[in-house]
Structure 1
Amino acid sequence: MVSESALPAGSKQRGFGHGGLRLVLLTLINEQPRHGYDLIKAVEELTSGHYRPSAGMVYPLLNQLVDQGLISAESTALDENKKQVYAIQTAGKKLLTDESLRVEHIFARVRQRAKQPVQVTRAIENFKLAVRLKLGNEVLTAVQASQLTEILDHAVRQIEQL
């Protein structure tokens, strides 16, 4: 794997980056065949609780990977619930080999971000959401724009003083 310091400058992609979850799921399935819920939990563990993909993201992506012939899905009967066990196929292994540098960068980024306290990540996401909602719901008056700018600048100064 690539060390965090070896990441290219400016590689501050959000989350796994475009198409990154697909590669993460393939990598996890390559390690061992898994159920969809197991994959959701594995991603959450991988990110130290910073990210848990929704079932609405994971299952359609798994179906797409099956349709592309990258993984297979086998039905099993467990406790009367039929679950799909996903296993890597030759084409999936080839894709991981072809994308190995990108996979290494994704996992290095994940390891780096997983070191950050979860409460800081939560606070950052809440902060970004609050600003997006404020800017998306209304046109700010000159006074509101000035107040928001003052709040943001003050937060930046406080962070820089840490």
Structure 2
Amino acid sequence: MMSESTLPAGNKQRGFGHGGLRLVLLSLINEQSRHGYDLIKAVEELTSGHYRPSAGMVYPLLNQLVEQGLISAEATAGEESKKQVYAIQPAGQKVLADEAARVEHIFARVRQRAKQPIQVTRAIENFKLAVRLKLGNEVLTTAQANQLTEILDNAVRQIEQL
């Protein structure tokens, strides 16, 4: 299972696009009121285990949605824990209505990506991270650049032959 922390910087909402996780959470809350952890699990299920957002990403976003009046947060009755149930508000429903085409596009893209074998997704992310780290940590010599180019070109050829 990939988590938000295993993703390259700048790709924290993989599959959703900029602001997409916000719309996904609103949509899930619109389906039914949920706890934060339930939302994390729902996103993981939606992506067939390809992505599980971290609590450090979800809870601040939920707090932001509450502050914007798009959802409400109610303490769970009878529980000593500080769990909150998040419920959609009319303003949140309006955002979903206004962004309906984008929401459908996000969910369609996520459903398509979720069909891919998870081991392939993991390998792709590891490959991209390895290249970024190699290029970001040092200036390559001409020989290293040529070798890396050869590795990348060979990988492309092998994939095309599948």
TM-score by length of 1: 0.90
How many residues get paired? 150
Quote how far apart the aligned CAs of 1:80 are: 2.8
Equivalent residue for 1:133?
Answer: 133
Gaps of 5+ in 1: 1-12
Quote how far apart the aligned CAs of 1:23 are: 0.2
Equivalent residue for 1:18?
Answer: 18
Equivalent residue for 1:118?
Answer: 118
Equivalent residue for 2:63?
Answer: 63
Distance in structure 2 (CA, Å) of the matches to 1:55 and 1:131: 28
Quote how far apart the aligned CAs of 1:81 are: 1.4
RMSD: 1.3
Distance in structure 1 (CA, Å) of the matches to 2:21 and 2:14: 12
Residue 143 (structure 1) aligned with residue 143 (structure 2): yes
Quote how far apart the aligned CAs of 1:123 are: 0.1
Classify 1:133/1:87 alpha carbon distance in 2 versus 1 (closer, same or farther; 3 Å).
same
Q: Is the 8 A contact 1:77 1:83 kept in 2?
A: no
Which amino acid letter does the alignment assign opposite residue 153 of structure 2?
A: D
TM-score by length of 2: 0.90
Gaps of 5+ in 2: 1-12
Distance in structure 1 (CA, Å) of the matches to 2:79 and 2:103: 35
Q: Secondary structure at the match of 1:81?
A: coil
Q: Which runs of 4+ in 1 moved over 6 A?
A: none
Quote how far apart the aligned CAs of 1:79 are: 5.3
Distance in structure 2 (CA, Å) of the matches to 1:78 and 1:64: 26
Q: Is the 8 A contact 1:33 1:85 kept in 2?
A: yes
Distance in structure 2 (CA, Å) of the matches to 1:110 and 1:78: 36
Which amino acid letter does the alignment assign opposite residue 116 of structure 2?
A: Q
Report matched runs for 1:145-160 at 5 Å: 145-160=145-160
